[in-house]
Structure 1
Amino acid sequence: MSAIVLFLAVVAVIAGWWLSQQRLASKPWLETGVIDDARGASSLPPAKIGLGVFLAVVGSLFALFVSAYTMRMELVDWRSLPVPKLLWFNTAVLIVSSGALQWARAAVGRDDGEGVLIGLLAGGASALVFLIGQLLAWQQLDAAGYLPAANPANAFFYLITATHALHVVGGLVALGRTTVKAWRGAEPAQLRLGVELCTMYWHFLLLVWLVLLALLTGWADDFVAICRQLLT
């Protein structure tokens, strides 16, 4: 349960920060001449709100995975599998993909259409390489005899990494639409929302993957032990 409690605490902090930016304590009936501007500055596009809700749900799903993983590994039949070294390369590629989309987001602010297109293409290509690398890692484990049904640790590894990969595939669909618009010559201002949404989603996927990698490699064991001590 420590992972769930930690995730909910992070969500609460983010929600509190977001609400603080919405001018909830303001008194619009006392303001003159700036009401429309205040509303425009504080309002968020429905797409961003929807993405935020979706990320909260997805984050809760992975938090449940992490919690179940940490509880299941305490049983005697748990046999940790060796993490393929290829995962480190895949992690680097995903970092590059997230960085490329951040580049595209910055290019939108500079009104640089060519930079936006380059960033989107680089981000999408890197994400595809990441997915291919994940498939190769699964093939390596399968060839070495680490089948999903052989051990609970194996089943969790395939379940967690496959679920993350499916979310990457879903992100590529949205990224592909935005990239097509950029390829067809859409102005950076018209691409702003799509690029920002893709960038937010990619940063989220990178953060989730880093947490999962720390868990699968055993780097998070000490942190999990500390959380358990704090909650007992």
Structure 2
Amino acid sequence: MSIAETPKRPVGMHPKKFAMWLFIVSVVMIFAALTSAYIVRQAEGNWAAFELPSIMYYSTIVILLSSASMHWAYLGAKKDDMSQLKNALTITSVLGVIFLILQFIGWEDLVAMNVFFVGNPSGSFVYVITGLHGLHIVSGILYLFIMLYAAFKNQINSGTIVRIEMCANFWHFLGALWIYLFIFMLMNR
């Protein structure tokens, strides 16, 4: 009696998800390089210490709330609750835009504190780090708008979960990245 082995299913990942994770790894590398350069440059001296604008604390709360609403959208898609999906994606998109507005207000506060992009490297680093993160937030908001459009066209459901899962993973990554950057800048003034 011969027992035929059934072939094991190879461990795999959707190609688009794999590409997204490669992109996320490259973004991590960019910010790891920036925060490393920040530490090295700070150690060289001529580094102006200043408080981060208080508005950045509020933007941190907003990004955390947006991550929660993004998870709510994902759960809505998973259980085919189109109303929940659409509402949650709308809330996440609005919170993403609010985050960007708060970041711009934070830049205005930095200028009011005489911290400029040109001048002391400490200010330059804060503008570059927050600006580059903001650029990634813009790409995340565009992704959210694409998902929102697809949701209103009823193109997202539990059977087509990959796209919303990718969007949620990217958005959660952006939120986690901001938390890291914010704490890093608080601890390394």
Structure 2 contact 79–158 (Cα < 8 Å) conserved = no
Q: Does 1:167 align with 2:136?
A: yes
The structure 1 segments of at least 4 consecutive aligned residues displaced by more than 4 Å after TM superposition are none
Q: Secondary structure at the match of 1:116?
A: helix
Written as runs of structure 1 = structure 2, the 5 A alignment for 1:66-215 is 66-189=35-158, 191-215=160-184
TM-score between the two structures when normalised by the length of structure 1? 0.76
**Whole-angstrom distance in 2 between the partners of 1:115 and 1:207:** 24
**Whole-angstrom distance in 1 between the partners of 2:158 and 2:72:** 15
Structure 1 contact 182–191 (Cα < 8 Å) conserved = no
**Whole-angstrom distance in 1 between the partners of 2:134 and 2:71:** 20
Which residue is equivalent to 2:5? 31
Instruction: Note the residue ranges of structure 2 that are not aligned, 5 or more in a row.
Output: none
The structure with higher relative contact order (CA 8 Å, sep 6+) is: 2
**Whole-angstrom distance in 2 between the partners of 1:169 and 1:65:** 19
Counterparts in 2 of 1:81 and 1:113: CA distance versus 1, 3 Å: same
- After superposition, the CA RMSD in angstroms is 1.7
* CA positional deviation for 1:187: 4.5
Which residue is equivalent to 2:17? 48
Structure 2 contact 143–167 (Cα < 8 Å) conserved = yes
* CA positional deviation for 1:190: 5.7
**Whole-angstrom distance in 2 between the partners of 1:79 and 1:131:** 25
**Whole-angstrom distance in 1 between the partners of 2:43 and 2:21:** 34
Structure 1 contact 116–188 (Cα < 8 Å) conserved = no
* CA positional deviation for 1:191: 4.8
Structure 1 contact 108–189 (Cα < 8 Å) conserved = yes
* CA positional deviation for 1:90: 0.1
Instruction: Tell me the alpha carbon deviations over residues 64-87 of structure 1, each in whole angstroms, 9 at most, x when there is no partner.
Output: 011001111112201122200000
